[in-house]
Amino acid sequence: MDKKTGPAADPLIGRTLGGCEILERIGEGGMGTVYLCRQLSLDRRVVAKILHGDLIRREEFVKRFLREAQAAAKVSHPNIVQVLDHGQDGDLHYILMEYVDGVSVKDMIERRGAIPLDQVVRIGADAARGLSAAHRSGIVHRDVKPANLMLTSDGIVKLADFGIAKPLGEDVEEITQTNFLVGTVQYMSPEQCEGKDIDGRADLYSLGITFYQMLTGRRPFEGRSTVDLMRQHLHDPPPPVERYIGKVPAEISRILSRMLAKNPEERYADGDALVADLESFQRRRSQAGAAATREVESMRDAATVANIAQTEVDAPSSGAVPGRRARPWGALAVVLLFTLAGAGYAYLHLHGKLPWKKNGGGQPPNGRRPDPVGPIQGGNGAGTNGAGNGGTPEPPTKDAGELARLASDDLDSGNLGAALSAARKGRREHPDDARFTELLPRIASRIREGMVQVEGGKAILGDERDPASSPRWEADVKEFWIDRYEVTNTDFERYRLSTGAPAPPGWEEGEVPSGREKHPVTQVTFEEAKAFAAWAGKRLPTEVEWEKAARGPDDRLWPWGTTFIASKANTMQAGRSDTLPVDALPGSETPCGAEQMIGNVWEWTSSAYAPYPGATPGKVVFRDGLLVARGGAYTLFARPETANVPTVSSRMGVVPGHRSKSLGFRCVWSGEDSR
């Protein structure tokens, strides 16, 4: 629940009520005040709703308050905030409820505007499940709206304020019938507006209004008065959602139209029917996504360097690293990456030498040479620009207290990118407010959990015997931190539940495959990896940062030294044909402590696949629009006798929208990213 600072002089703070110590005031509604409490017997957090003092002398309100609490307590369902107890202590009438650690959908909409479709569908389905359970128990909520839908830190939706009526307030949003509030007019069904008897289908209409608002960021009906809003519910069709967000799937339009039917007989008969349609849509969407990204991945005997043209390389120069065997580059296979016309995905295909005609001495066709060091800017391969949150939008302008609350709530829920964005905005706009000075180090500390430090200084880059990675050169790198492990399926699932991002192809029913929780997440595009990094308050590494972390301060070719050791890298040489858990090879550590930076999966970087400074024209043709992946993968067959193994310098060019079972990522963070 949203935490709001209550008056310091609240006499109830510190008092014990129903076996619960009152800790702080966190909200206020039409009928009562909401407090965070600690249940002494179980040492857990609960919520107490206490009836307003000016209502306790009105018997009808007291009866209504307690009657609805008794009814709601009979419904036990994962998608409903559980009523634990109710009672009276002197003049105080209270209801004890489950504490929900999360945010309301109302807050989500206020912060983000429109919510991603996949998350809208999941929220809608969870809410419908909760409503269905209540309706089977004979309870109609009557006030379904974004403020009463709570999203926990685990991504579960819970319906709050179940069936508790509120008195008429001064706000024109609320109306009454025989002195009792029966809903919030913006979300009220036509039959409620007419004062007719209602059933569960009225709740489904209100959920439809909420569904519309989640999709578009705005309600379908807005009016200057209660009467105007009621008229629209009764007679006006809602504006098409396409007016605000562009085209949506036809099935979603059909589901929404049925939820918002004026006639209850034309709506879903119950929540279960709505859930069935939403789940059907999710299945088809997941299957379509998997079908659209099926790929060929037979990378046996593949080279560690992936080019898109025939490679013609002279003998190694005299500047080769001592003690290394020359590589027979002419015998190496090369990997062709191409984008299937109209399909938006890439295939990996093996060839020997390709009959590819070089142009203009190896220059890109348009003469541009992208920066090989920095991140890509713009286009569908846009990378971060070094901002710590990787593009997380700042919250709308708010006062210092609200920004501090947003940052604190996001920190508690693990949405570190949003927490960082709110705290930075707060410090910039309110430089004298000590809350932001205190929050930023806490956020930075959380971001660095699971990361290892890479000292700044000179980075040695490249490999003279690798045409795509030559010549060797040096760059100055500032201190940064890098994930110890590749991002796992479990990591990505937490992000997905928090943001509503779609599951990668291969996750049946959107769930992490059993037994693969600690394996690296794969089949994610560059943009999806970048979005995860932003959510985590991090960014994707440049390839200079990646090689600095993998190589360390000296001239080694592999993280552990100058000799390839098959047991320290997950490649086919070790007899493996699948990814490993990210912590399965402790002997693979780099000098900074990162693990499995060679093998397991290729890793996205934010850098363009381009010639290194001083590269000899004509040796390699670089195509515009590709990004660099680093590290090699389990699909590579390492041949030490030919030195055909991935090293810390190996580069592969990848289409930004590509998905592959052998492509994942890890993130980096810089101290300046949190300033």
- For residue 393, the model assigns a pLDDT of 61
**Higher per-residue confidence, 237 vs 111:** 237
> SS3 sequence, 539-595?
ECCCHHHHHHHHHCCCCCCECCECCCCHHHCECHHHCCCCCCCCCCCHHHCCCCCCC
pLDDT tens digits, 551-572: 988 878 888 888 888 888 888 7
At residue 415, the pLDDT reads 84
Query: For residue 383, what pLDDT is reported?
Result: 34
| pLDDT over 90 percentage in the chain | 37
Sort residue 68 into left (φ over 0), alpha (ψ -120 to 50) or beta: alpha
Nearest partner of 438 among 398, 413, 411, 415, judged by Cα: 411
Cβ–Cβ under 8 Å, residues 491 and 666: no
Does residue 199 register a pLDDT over 50? Answer: yes
Q: How many C-beta atoms surround the C-beta of residue 98 within 10 A?
A: 16
Q: Name which of 16-25, 508-517, 641-650 the model is least confident about.
A: 641-650
Residues 6 or more apart from 255 whose CB is under 8 A from it? 274, 277, 278, 281
pLDDT at 356 over 80: no
Query: CA gyration radius for the chain?
Result: 29
Element (H, E) at 200: helix 200-216
Which pLDDT belongs to residue 398?
Answer: 67
Q: How confident is the model at residue 351 (pLDDT cuts 50, 70, 90)?
A: very low
Instruction: For residues 482-500, give the mean pLDDT.
Output: 92
Classify residue 609 as exposed, middle or buried by CB count within 10 Å of its CB (0-12, 13-18, 19+). buried
Give the per-residue pLDDT at 74: 79
Catalytic pick among 107, 118, 126, 143: 143
**The listed CATH number (1.25.40.10, 3.40.640.10, 3.30.200.20, 3.90.1150.10) that belongs to domain 16-98:** 3.30.200.20
Grade residue 468 by pLDDT with cuts at 50, 70 and 90: confident
| Amino acid occupying residue 469 | S
69: pLDDT strictly greater than 70: yes
| 594 pLDDT tier (thresholds 50, 70, 90) | very high
Quick one: pLDDT at residue 53? 77
Tens of pLDDT, residue by residue over 267-320, are 999 999 999 999 999 888 776 654 444 433 333 333 333 332 222 222 222 222
Q: Which secondary structure element, helix H or strand E, spans residue 72, and what is its range? A: helix 59-73
Place of tokens 């499940």: 129
Residue 571: HSE in the Cβ half-sphere, 13 Å Cα cutoff = 30
Is 89 an active-site residue? no
Q: Which amino acid is at 225?
A: S
77 DSSP assignment: -
Write out pLDDT tens, residues 140-185.
888 899 999 999 877 889 998 764 433 323 333 333 333 444 568 9
621 or 340: which leads in pLDDT: 621
Mean pLDDT (whole number) for 513-540: 94
Contacts of 633 (CB under 8 A, 6+ apart): 299, 571, 599, 600, 601, 602, 646, 662, 663
Query: How many CA atoms lie less than 13 Å away from 557 in the CB half-sphere?
Result: 22
Lowest mean pLDDT among 84-98, 196-210, 640-654: 640-654
Check residues 391 and 356 and name the one with the higher pLDDT: 391
Mean pLDDT of the chain: 77
Higher pLDDT, 74 or 341: 74
Tokens 């604190």 sit on residue: 408
- Specify the CATH number of the domain 329-388+451-674: 3.90.1580.10
DSSP 617: T
DSSP 536: T
Give the helix/strand (H/E) hosting 25. Answer: strand 20-28
pLDDT in tens, 615-637: 777 666 677 788 999 998 888 75
| pTM, 2 dp | 0.49
Which pLDDT score is estimated for 366? 35
- Alpha carbons 81 and 85: distance in angstroms, whole number: 12
Residue 14 is inside which H or E element, if any? none
Query: What's residue 396's pLDDT?
Result: 58
Q: Which of 51-60, 83-92, 198-207, 221-230 has the lowest mean pLDDT?
A: 51-60
Fold of 102-291: Transferase(Phosphotransferase); domain 1 (1.10.510)
Domain ranges in the chain are 16-98, 102-291, 329-388+451-674
Torsion of CA 227, 228, 232, 238, to 10 degrees: -140
